A and B are shown apart, each in its own frame.
Chain A
Amino acid sequence: MLAIDEVTVLGRQNRTIVPAQILSGEKLQRLNSHSVSDALRYFSGVQIKDYGGIGGLKTVNIRSMGSQHVGVFYDGIQIGNAQNGTVDLGKFSLDNMELVSVYNGQKSDIFQSARDFASASAVYMVTRRPVFESGRRNRFNVKLKGGSFDLINASALWEHRISENLSSSANIEYLNTSGKYKFRYHKDGGYDTTEVRRNGDVWFLRAEAALFGKVKRGEWQAKGYFYNSERGYPGAAVKKDYGISLLNEDRQKDRNFFFQGSLRQEVTDLYSYKIQAKYANDYMNYVMPPESTVQPMDNHYWQQEVYITAANLFAFTPWWTANLSTDFQWNKLDADGTDMFNAHFIEPRRYTLLGAIATSVNLKRFSMQASLLYTYVHDRSARRMETAPDKNVFSPTIIASYRPFEKIGLDIRAFYKEIFRMPTFNDLYYVQLGNRLLKPEYATQYNVGVVYSKRFDKGVLSTLNLTMDAYYNEVKDKIIATPTSNQLVWTMVNLGYVEIRGVDVTFNPCFNIGGVALDARLSYTYQKAQDFTKEKDEGWEETVMDGYGDQIPYIPWHSGSAILNASYRKWDFNYSFIYTGERYMLGNNTPVNYIQPWYTHDMSLSRNFPFKHAQLRITAEVNNIFNQQYEVVKWYPMPGTNFKIILSLTL
């Protein structure tokens, strides 16, 4: 599964030098997951920050470099957020998802936009493409899910073949949950309390429509996406008296839509091109009502993005290719908040120009890709206020793979990558926080690993995949928030320096035992992510801790997952296990900052009921079987045992 070729999905015969971690198709759908972020927990090297519940914020951090270093791509085009640089993956449904993959460094497919070269690691989400059984023009699917937290989730999909070379897909999904669940805090020999998570309700409506076309030696795709939601933020479950405190009344409304299209064509054997374009429009409203005891707020944010890219592939010989791609991106952020906010808000506009040249050599036992990315960023204020100076940065990458023995499926791979992340609009310009003098935050990555895969014709074991990677990352000029004179007045500085050393292991054997197909997927991650930020307060006596060299907050030393999947005739069984080891919050690895390990066991059982022209599938899920009371982020309690029933009808 790990070495799956992406041909079926992306349609181009360019072997990626370093394969990604992939979850796709049935395997992806069988996971007991609500959203893409839940599925990403099974990848090695990935840490999800989950603020609890169904609607809470979920961000992804790959190899401890920080969530702003992760590029998130939806059907080939990056999802931007110039405002804060992170994408909330809890908002992306698995309902119509065909594939989720994670790349360290970059996707080593050469034929790609400059954006694909421009993040330290990347998550690619690919939605379902229409597939028709012979002679059929339509395919319908209706799904209904219900379960704990008063969850109701319904979706409908219609795929239609318009002609030989043109098909369409339309998909709509609605979700509503109260987000209410009980949780318990218990100290051995001390207090014991059970509370209810409140203000965690969510509803969303998502609608997507797409056209898929074929042209001579190529194909095109056009897509529209719409998302509308409202959710409550339950906040931290700190000590409080609900009789008087209304701290967690925060509400967020989102309305996002985007249109995107792509066209790819092989003009001659030598030259192919790919053009992609996107327009995105995002509105967000964050409210802290005046009835709450804290500062009332009613902020509105409008973001727009225009993105266009052209990639040009030159296949000089069957084994030597080169790519030249240029991207242009325009971002705009408008906001409306308090009078003070409006008076100081600069209304930023950002013009980004990216250029990438890359070349790739694919010999029988040796492959290599080298790329150089150029980034130019110019910020402007619509109110003619001062902005950050222009940025000009070159970032190189080298990726190589070598097969030492012709007859053994063992590859050695390595990469070196330099990349940076731009300070976001919030980092630079947020009123009473931003610092427009910030420099970009740089990440340097070194990775070396092995991949072993083998297929067996006889016996119980049918296939086997094993990967092992060791890596070293440096993050310098890390952008961190720092306070000024009190807890309410913060600013951003380029202070941090972090070194990360880690090992990722994945192991994926598939068995066939007397008609039972058994698929196991195990992953393990070790990470030592140390904060070596130099402070002015060094050299005290030993009664003063400095935290220098301590593990950074929320990164466990050990984490891992296991998925076991068994299919027998019309039955499917899935068991999944996730483990996150001990870790610390805040800055020092001290007892008060210690956070317990957590691990959850989830199970699901499905049965298919085939009819003449239809298929019904019923699934029952139970999650967190042992009702472990755990937290991913301290004081954001996660749900205990919970259930779900899924009905899926395909016509």
Chain B
Amino acid sequence: MKGFYLKWLTVFIGILILAASCRKDDPVLPSEPTLVNPWEQVTGDIYGFFLLNEGNMGTNQASLDYYDYETGVYTRNIYGERNPYEVKDLGDVGNDIQIYGDKLWAVINCSNYVEVMDVNTVKHITKIAIPNCRYLAFKGKYAYVSAYAGPVQIAPDARIGYVAKIDTVSLQVVDECIVGYQPEEMAIVGDKLYVANSGGYRVPNYDRTVSVIDLKTFTEEKKIDVAINLHRIQPDNYGNLYVSSRGDYYEIPSKTFIIDTSTDEVAYEFEDLPNTHMTLCRDSLFLYSTEWSYITNDWTVSYAIVNTRTREIVTRNFIKDGTEERIQTPYGIAVNPNTGEFLVTDAKDYVRAGTLHCFGPDGIRKWSISTGNIPAHIVFTRKKLQPLEK
């Protein structure tokens, strides 16, 4: 009898130890290719696009996906296997991605650095540390990065933001220019850099200005008063800047403004054009809005195209096949300038993998694919991404 129970005890412990011994080595995760578009082999000088997934804050899940127009294959998570020795992959919260020359630049917001890669191979070149960095802009020999975390201002205990100037040859920060609070997107017109200041950390005392930096002296020339909580800034082909205000999520709604860069003043304010994100293709400004109100506890999603020549709203919905009803949280938009096809990402509930939808110029959906967590920023590449050397 006693032997019987002892045997069972041994068996039970044995099972536990067996169960316990199945911890595998933690491998470098391979990329995940999927054929999404077998119908088209688009050629032309755009070979593909990179998509930067933000990754939920604190999860270290910023990741890079790639779509190849020649093969119609979408590949998730390409950074890790190409850079296995980069500690903790891309890091926490990707916020912007751009290509300049032969280099692919990615801003990793909560890891406080800018990642510079070879655009042909996505091999890591260097990291540039910038605290709470947000967006990128380029001109001539320099890259510019807006950053939330400048020196602490005494009065409201918030840090004032700055724009860092990076030499694209030495890849070092060479200068800094103090701007407004929590600066966001930037645009360069001529020799002037415009940066939208949000002041989002200082609610309810939002910043409401666009800072104008003279690139020759790299000093702030003036501030243009626009509206509270500015975010996006997009130049058109007529010397104008489209600027978005997020509003305060209570009484003040999101809005779109135009700054005339010849006078550096607000020239136009759209009536009823809430704006979360916009992108320009020739004279068509694609924009969408996901506007939340804490007063009604409700939110409104809208899509529109503005003709930047006439400033008319061409359409109030550029998705023509009803797909918009099935997009939970539009989070990124890009238009292929060669074909006019456009891409819209859905971040869903921010927890599950997001989705990327590709639409033809007619607004009819062509294909969809799961992305990483919070797909957000897209850049088209005119260089072929070389396959991974095995």
Binding site for B on A (CB under 8 A): 185-191, 193, 235-236, 238-241, 243-245, 247, 290-291, 293-296, 338-340, 343-344, 432, 435-437, 459-461, 464, 480, 482-489, 491, 495, 507, 509, 511, 520, 522, 524, 535-538, 540-541, 543-547, 553, 558, 560, 562, 577, 579, 581, 585-588, 590-592, 596-599, 634-635
Which of B36, B58, B203, B328 interacts with A238 by CB under 8 Å?
Answer: B58
Q: Are B59 and A236 in contact (CB under 8 A)?
A: yes
Contact between A191 and B85 (Cβ–Cβ < 8 Å)? Answer: yes
The CA-CA distance from A535 to B350 in the complex, in Å, is 13
Question: Are B26 and A596 closer than 8 Å at their CB atoms?
Answer: yes
Contact B110 A238 (CB under 8 A): yes
Chain B 301-339 interface mask (CB, 8 Å, partner A; 1/0): 000000000000000000000000111110000000000
Chain B 243-278, CB-CB to A under 8 Å as 1, else 0, gives 000100110000000000000000000000000100
B49 within 8 A of A: no
- Give Cα A187 to B246, complex, Å: 41
The answer on a CB contact under 8 Å between B204 and A343 is: yes
Also in contact, A581 and B350, with CB within 8 A (given A290-B152, A485-B290): no
Task: Say which residue of B12, B111, B369 sits within 8 Å of A544 (CB atoms).
Answer: B369
Is B20 a contact partner of A579 (Cβ separation < 8 A)? yes
Residues A579 and B16 in contact in the complex (CB < 8 Å), given A187-B28, A459-B2, A543-B369: yes
CA distance A634 to B294 in the complex (A): 31
**A420–chain B nearest beta-carbon distance, Å:** 21
B340 to chain A, nearest CB (A): 23
- Interface residue tally on B, bucketed by range: 35 or more
**Per-position binary interface string of chain B over residues 8-22, scored 1 when its CB falls under 8 Å from any chain A CB and 0 otherwise:** 010011001001101
Tell me the nearest residue of chain B to A341, going by C-beta: B203
Is B63 interfacial (CB 8 A cutoff)? yes
Given A238-B88, A290-B159, decide whether A484 and B131 contact each other with a Cβ distance below 8 A.
no
Task: Please state if A599 and B23 are interface contacts (CB–CB under 8 Å).
Answer: yes
Give B244 Cβ to nearest chain A Cβ, in Å: 11
Contacts of A241 in B (CB 8 A): 111-113, 127, 129
How distant is B119 from chain A, measured CB to nearest CB, in Å? 22
Closest beta carbon of chain A to B342's beta carbon, Å: 18
Q: Which chain A residues lie closer than 8 Å to B132 at the CB level? A: 293-294
Task: Please determine whether B5 and A540 come into contact, CB atoms closer than 8 angstroms.
Answer: no
**B74 → chain A closest CB, angstroms:** 8
The answer to whether B292 touches A290 (Cβ under 8 A) is no
Which chain A positions have C-beta within 8 A of B13? Answer: 522, 562
Bound-state CA distance A176–B131 (Å) is 32
Chain A residues near B290 (CB-CB < 8 A): 484-485
Contact of A522 among B16, B86, B112, B157 (CB under 8 A): B16
Given A459-B2, A483-B350, A540-B368; 20 other pairs, CB 8 A cutoff: A188-B28, A190-B84, A190-B85, A236-B58, A239-B60, A239-B89, A239-B90, A340-B204, A488-B200, A507-B12, A511-B6, A522-B13, A524-B16, A537-B328, A540-B355, A543-B367, A544-B368, A592-B372, A597-B20, A635-B58
CA distance A436 to B374 in the complex (A): 27
B247 and chain A: residue at smallest CB distance: A485
| CB-CB nearest in chain A for B128 | A241
**Complex CA distance for A290 and B153, rounded to whole angstroms:** 9
Q: Report B350-389 residues with CB < 8 Å from chain A CB.
A: 350-353, 355, 367-370, 372-374
Find the B residue at minimum CB distance from A545. B370
Known A-B contacts A536-B326, A586-B373; the reply to A491 vs B297 at CB < 8 A is yes
Q: Which 8 A-B pairs have the closest CB atoms?
A: A587-B352, A239-B91, A484-B292, A190-B84, A239-B88, A340-B203, A238-B92, A188-B25
| Shortest distance between the CB of A527 and any CB in chain B (Å) | 14
Q: Indicate if the CB atoms of B276 and A592 lie closer than 8 Å.
A: no
B92, A240: Cβ atoms under 8 Å?
yes
B207 sits at the interface (CB 8 A): no
Contact A244 B351 (CB under 8 A): no
A190 touches B292 (CB 8 A): no
CA distance A538 to B323 in the complex (A): 11
Contact B355 A293 (CB under 8 A): no
For the complex formed, measure the closest distance between the CB of A300 and the CB atoms of chain B, giving whole angstroms.
15
Instruction: Report the minimum CB–CB distance from A389 to chain B (whole Å).
Output: 13
Whole-angstrom CA separation of A577 from B367 in the bound complex: 50
B 26-64 contacts with A by CB, 8 A: 26-29, 32, 34, 36, 54, 56-61, 63
Q: Residues of B contacting A464 with CB < 8 Å? A: 5
The interface residues of chain A lying within 8 Å CB-to-CB of B2 are 459-461
Of B16, B34, B130, B327, which contacts A537 at CB under 8 A? B327
Find out whether the CB atom of B91 lies under 8 angstroms from the CB atom of A240: yes
23 A-B contacts (beta carbon < 8 Å): A188-B28, A193-B87, A236-B60, A239-B60, A239-B89, A241-B112, A295-B200, A459-B2, A461-B5, A485-B246, A485-B290, A485-B291, A487-B56, A536-B325, A540-B355, A540-B368, A541-B367, A541-B368, A543-B36, A543-B367, A562-B13, A585-B59, A592-B29
B148 interface residue (CB < 8 Å to A): yes
> Is A485 a contact partner of B6 (Cβ separation < 8 A)?
no
Nearest B residue to A466 via CB reads B8
Task: Evaluate contact between B84 and A189: CB separation under 8 angstroms.
Answer: yes
Q: Would you list which residues of chain B between 53 and 107 have a CB under 8 Å from chain A?
A: 54, 56-61, 63, 74, 77, 80, 84-93
Residues of A within 8 A of B127 (CB): 241
CA distance A598 to B61 in the complex (A): 21
Contact between B110 and A290, CB atoms less than 8 A apart:
no
Residues of B within 8 A of A520 (CB): 9
| Chain A residues within an 8 Å CB radius of B373 | 586, 592
Are B84 and A191 closer than 8 Å at their CB atoms? yes
Q: Is B192 an interface residue (CB 8 A)?
A: no
**Which residues does chain A contribute within 8 Å of B25, judged by CB atoms?**
188
Determine how close the nearest CB of chain B comes to the CB of A206; give it in whole angstroms. 30
Closest chain-B Cβ to A249's Cβ sits at a distance in Å of 13
- Rounded to whole angstroms, the CA-CA distance of A136 and B326 in the bound complex is 75
Cβ contacts under 8 Å, B299 to chain A? 484-485
Beyond A238-B91, A436-B297, whether A586 also contacts B59 by CB under 8 A is yes
Instruction: With CB as the reference atom, state the residue of chain B lying closest to A437.
Output: B297
Min distance, Cβ A192 to any Cβ of chain B, angstroms: 8
B201 within 8 A of A: yes
Q: CB-defined interface of B148-172 with A at 8 Å, one 1/0 digit per residue?
A: 1100100001110000000000000
Listed residue (A190, A241, A495, A560) with the most chain B CB atoms within 10 angstroms of its CB: A190
| Residues of chain B within 8 A of A191, CB atoms compared | 84-88
Instruction: Determine the distance from Cα of A558 to Cα of B294 in the docked complex, in whole angstroms.
Output: 41
Cβ contacts B136-152/A at 8 Å (1 or 0 each): 00000000000011001
B195 CB within 8 Å of chain A: no
A193: nearest chain-B partner, CB-CB: B87
B347 at the interface (CB under 8 A from A): yes
- Of the residues B9, B19, B27, B89, contact of A558 by C-beta under 8 Å: B19
**Residues of chain A with a CB closer than 8 A to B348's CB:** 535, 537
Whose C-beta in chain A lies nearest to the C-beta of B153? A290
- Min distance, Cβ A143 to any Cβ of chain B, angstroms: 32
